[in-house]
Amino acid sequence: MKKMIELIGDELVRAFEQCSYDSKYAKVSISNRPDLCEYQCNGAMACAKEYRKAPIVIAQEVVEVLKDNDIFDAVEAVAPGFINMKLSGKFVSDYIEGMRTSGKFGMEENKNPQTIIVDYGGANVAKPLHIGHLRSAIIGECVKRMGRFLGNKVIGDVHLGDWGLQMGLIIEELRCRKPELSYFDESFTGEYPKEAPFTISELEEIYPAASKKAKENEEFAKKAHEATLKLQSGDRAFTAIWKHIIAVSVADLKVNYGNLNVEFDLWKGESDAQPYIEDMINDMIAKGYAYESQGATVIDVSLPDDKKEIPPCIIRKSDGAALYATSDLATIIEREKLYSPDRYIYLTDKRQELHFVQVFRAARKTKLVKESTSLEHLGFGTMNGKDGQPFKTRSGGVMRLEYLIKEVNDAVKARLEESGKIVGQEAEDTARIIGLAAIKYGDLSNQASKDYVFDIDRFTSFEGNTGPYILYTIVRIKSILAKFSQENSMSDIGGFKLLPAATAEEKRLMLTLLKFVDVMENAFAEIAPHKICQFVYEVTDAFSTFYNSVKILSEEDTARKQSYIALISYTKEILEAAIDVLGFEAPERM
């Protein structure tokens, strides 16, 4: 279906042309004064300059043409030259009927679907998931879902940090603790055990202990570094330990991401890029892109109009080690080979911005990607506590994700039990669903690049612009529909006809709903999940005003009642589709 704004635009184009004005002035926008009108055209002002006429005269001429058009209820020229429009109620309800019956909310088929890699999550193996990775998971999941909703082929990759110094640290610490393991016996030639020599809890304790030790003990740090190099050059014993670390960690990460309703198509990591590195560097040197500088191998990536200096991208250190940038470049080679994406979107903390500028420029310069391929980094801000400092636990440590989730869920459960309607296991399960909405909506409703304050009290409130309030609206509609279905069949609702709105409140709800696909497209074009949140909140607000202005179930006029039911049921459908893209869902009751 054409967008509402395009349909109105078409009428305006015709009217401008009929009055012999250039149709480029016939631009329509949603009114920023909803108290005065629903849509507006401000083109008469710009048009006035070209045609040397008063804008109000132009606006009046155009209005004269539009006056008899039955898509409008009212069209007015207002000083100095605005054209204000109100749509006819029937045109609006017919449009929503079109959305309802065309499927997929009236969205047109995506004729040029793109293949998009979303690189998000970015957890580091063997280190517990902490809230630093939370935003990447939440925003990335939403970006992936937005892309899919609009008909693209989107591949989500967790891109684990599975190849760094942490591996050497763990290996050496393990050697100190369990020197008797066959991995440390140089003369061992048999098969290494299938069973990992540690559990996830041990692993999570080993890494911080080793990392602390390395800071205090130079000898240990050196050994860990050597162990890392040995692993990276393919040592059999260390590779076996490394595989255990990955397996144990990934199993745990899957549970954690699962609890966040975050799902990756690919569980690849930095290690998958390793086989490409050697050839890549040789090739870059051979083609003259990379050169030796103070023992390291670098690619110049600065450009003449850079406002600040962009240092060269180092792809090999003087000791021969590969770096973060090396692995990101080699990963591009693999992704080109396997998926040949049109677009790459990376999500990390915005402090990694320079890294991605360097990597993207190096990738373009060395022609790893086609010119038309888009490389984008969405750098997000920090999640702060109420004190404005990065969010910490009560004891001041870095908050682990599971504890944060638990704290939120407990807060929600307490609220549920306060009301007394839901208790015990149901309260527990429902709190988990609502808690996730509280966390995700609290995050996504902010512009991603900005820092924000994670305020558990506010985020878990059932009132205001919060995740729980959005769910509450959906639950409320579910409960009206459930009452309705006691005497009627739910399956009939699809066939109920939507009548033109009887009141301003009802019309406002319809005008809000019909923007859905437009909002989704804009939000994805700008990679701006907060725009979906704004829309969702606008819908809940319009719904609740409408709901308070009518009696739905006791309406006596059957056709009107059925129309109300169709409208709220469609409101629910749109809200559910929108929150699914945001990455959470509504409970049955709350």
Q: How far is the CB of 277 from ligand ARG (least distance, A)?
A: 15
Nearest CB to ligand ARG, comparing residues 324 and 462: 324
Interface region with ligand ARG, contact rule CB under 6 A, candidates 43-51, 88-96, 118-126, 284-292? 118-126
CA distance 244 to 231: 13
Nearest CA to 411 out of 458, 445, 446, 466 is that of 458
Interface region with ligand ARG, contact rule CB under 6 A, candidates 117-125, 369-377, 411-419, 564-572? 117-125
- Residue 401 and residue 136 in contact, taking contact as beta carbons nearer than 8 Å: no
Nearest CB to ligand ARG, comparing residues 84 and 166: 166
Tokens 């600065």 belong to residue: 302
- Residue 565 and residue 547 in contact, taking contact as beta carbons nearer than 8 Å: no
Among 242, 276, 346, 564, binds ligand ARG (CB under 6 A): 346
| C-alpha distances in Å from residue 498, one per residue of 71, 88, 560 | 17, 14, 8
Q: How far is the CB of 348 from ligand ARG (least distance, A)?
A: 5
Q: How far is the CB of 115 from ligand ARG (least distance, A)?
A: 17
Q: How far is the CB of 258 from ligand ARG (least distance, A)?
A: 19
| C-alpha distances in Å from residue 505, one per residue of 198, 541, 550, 552 | 62, 10, 9, 13
CA distance 289 to 165: 28
- Residue 553 and residue 480 in contact, taking contact as beta carbons nearer than 8 Å: yes
Please report whether residue 572 would count as binding ligand ARG according to CB under 6 A. Answer: no
Binding mask 310-329 toward ligand ARG (x if CB under 6 A, else -) reads: ------------------x-
DSSP string, 24-56: GG--EEE-S-TTT-SEEE-HHHHHHHHHTS-HH
Spell out the residues 6+ positions from residue 444 whose beta carbon is closer than 8 angstroms to its own.
138, 139, 142, 529, 530, 532, 533, 582
Nearest CB to ligand ARG, comparing residues 135 and 515: 135
Scan residues 247-306 and list those touching ligand ARG (CB under 6 A): none
Binding mask 514-553 toward ligand ARG (x if CB under 6 A, else -) reads: ----------------------------------------
SS (H, E, C) 331-371: HHHHHHHHCCCCEEEEEEEHHHHHHHHHHHHHHHHCCCCCC
Nearest CB to ligand ARG, comparing residues 38 and 328: 328
CA distance 323 to 329: 10
- Residue 362 and residue 325 in contact, taking contact as beta carbons nearer than 8 Å: yes
DSSP string, 152-182: -EEEEE--BB-SSHHHHHHHHHHHHH-TTSG
Nearest CB to ligand ARG, comparing residues 9 and 140: 140
Nearest CB to ligand ARG, comparing residues 122 and 529: 122
Q: How far is the CB of 344 from ligand ARG (least distance, A)?
A: 9
Please report whether residue 122 would count as binding ligand ARG according to CB under 6 A. Answer: yes
Scan residues 142-201 and list those touching ligand ARG (CB under 6 A): 159, 161
Q: How far is the CB of 334 from ligand ARG (least distance, A)?
A: 12
Residue 173 tokens, joined: 């610490």
Among 76, 119, 141, 173, binds ligand ARG (CB under 6 A): 119
Closest residue by beta carbon to ligand ARG: 122
Instruction: Give me the residues paired with residue 346 across strands.
Output: 119, 377
CA distance 280 to 289: 11
Please report whether residue 341 would count as binding ligand ARG according to CB under 6 A. Answer: no
Q: How far is the CB of 202 from ligand ARG (least distance, A)?
A: 22
Residue 108 tokens, joined: 């047109």
Q: Which residues of 308-323 are buried (b: 16+ CB within 10 A; e: fewer)?
A: eeeebbbbbeeeeebb
Q: How far is the CB of 288 from ligand ARG (least distance, A)?
A: 26
Among 271, 348, 446, 473, binds ligand ARG (CB under 6 A): 348
Q: How far is the CB of 119 from ligand ARG (least distance, A)?
A: 5
Please report whether residue 124 would count as binding ligand ARG according to CB under 6 A. Answer: yes
Nearest CB to ligand ARG, comparing residues 124 and 274: 124
Q: How far is the CB of 249 from ligand ARG (least distance, A)?
A: 13
Residues of this chain that interact with ligand ARG (CB under 6 A) are 119, 122, 124, 159, 161, 328, 346, 348
